[in-house]
Amino acid sequence: MDNNLKKLLVYFLKNAPVGMSRTSLVKFVYLFEYYYRNKYGKHFTETQFIRYNYGPFDQKVVDTVSELTTEGIVNVVNGYYMDSVTYEYTLNTQSEYEAYDELTGQERFIADVLISKLSNLTATEIADFSYSTPPMLEILELEKKYDSRLYGRRLNMTKTSPVYRPSKKRLIAARKRLAQRDKTRGTKEERALYRLELYHEFQDLRDQVNKVFAELEEEYR
């Protein structure tokens, strides 16, 4: 049982302004681990994220939030969208969730920055932001090299910079082509360029996150 992961999930659900979807929770944990690993040189949870068809994924996050649901700590509401089951999670404030409400200053300030900067994004935008991180970009570049999807490939969470920067001309061309079709149906190169474009599209947001990290670090020590 990964108690640190439970603490992190409870903290996100307690402080998020609205309920969180399964996709959002998984991506929040991924982004937390990415920033935590690069800032402190270690992992906080036992998660090991892989390349999944919807971006970074670890089944452990899904299983752990299910455990919290079974314990009565978390509420879940199921819905349906395009023939798929959806999950929206909220914290059961009438439960004994305080048992998991124990993040220290280091963890809290990273979680707080992510909540403040990403909570207003849609689940799709959060997924796109996770695609724009260096660990995912490294995988996308390898997929382009080998002309194959590397589903199940473990992400290198120590990666801190993009491995490839396409020219502005190529990015504009890819954007125009993708605007005329479903992004999931583009060529492999177009899909790769689209994801790489996300890195630059979200540069301002990453800069804001890093700036807040710097400003709040002293406060949370």
Of 63, 183, 64, the closest CA to residue 124 belongs to: 183
What percent of the chain shows pLDDT beyond 90? 49
Which residue ranges make up each domain of the chain? 3-158+206-220, 165-201
Predicted confidence (pLDDT) at residue 51 exceeds the cutoff of 80: yes
Q: What is the tens place of the pLDDT at every residue in 115-174? A: 988 888 888 888 888 988 899 989 988 998 899 999 999 999 998 865 445 455 655 555
Alpha-carbon span 214 to 221, nearest angstrom: 12
Predicted confidence (pLDDT) at residue 66 exceeds the cutoff of 70: yes
Start-to-end CA distance of the chain, whole Å, equals 28
Of 18, 193, 8, the closest CA to residue 118 belongs to: 18
Burial class (CB in 10 A: 0-12, 13-18, 19+), 171: middle
pLDDT band at 213 (very low <50, low <70, confident <90, very high): low
Q: How far from the centroid of its chain's Cα atoms is residue 48's Cα?
A: 13
Of 93, 103, 95, 92, the closest CA to residue 44 belongs to: 103
Contacts of 79 (CB under 8 A, 6+ apart): 85, 86, 87, 88
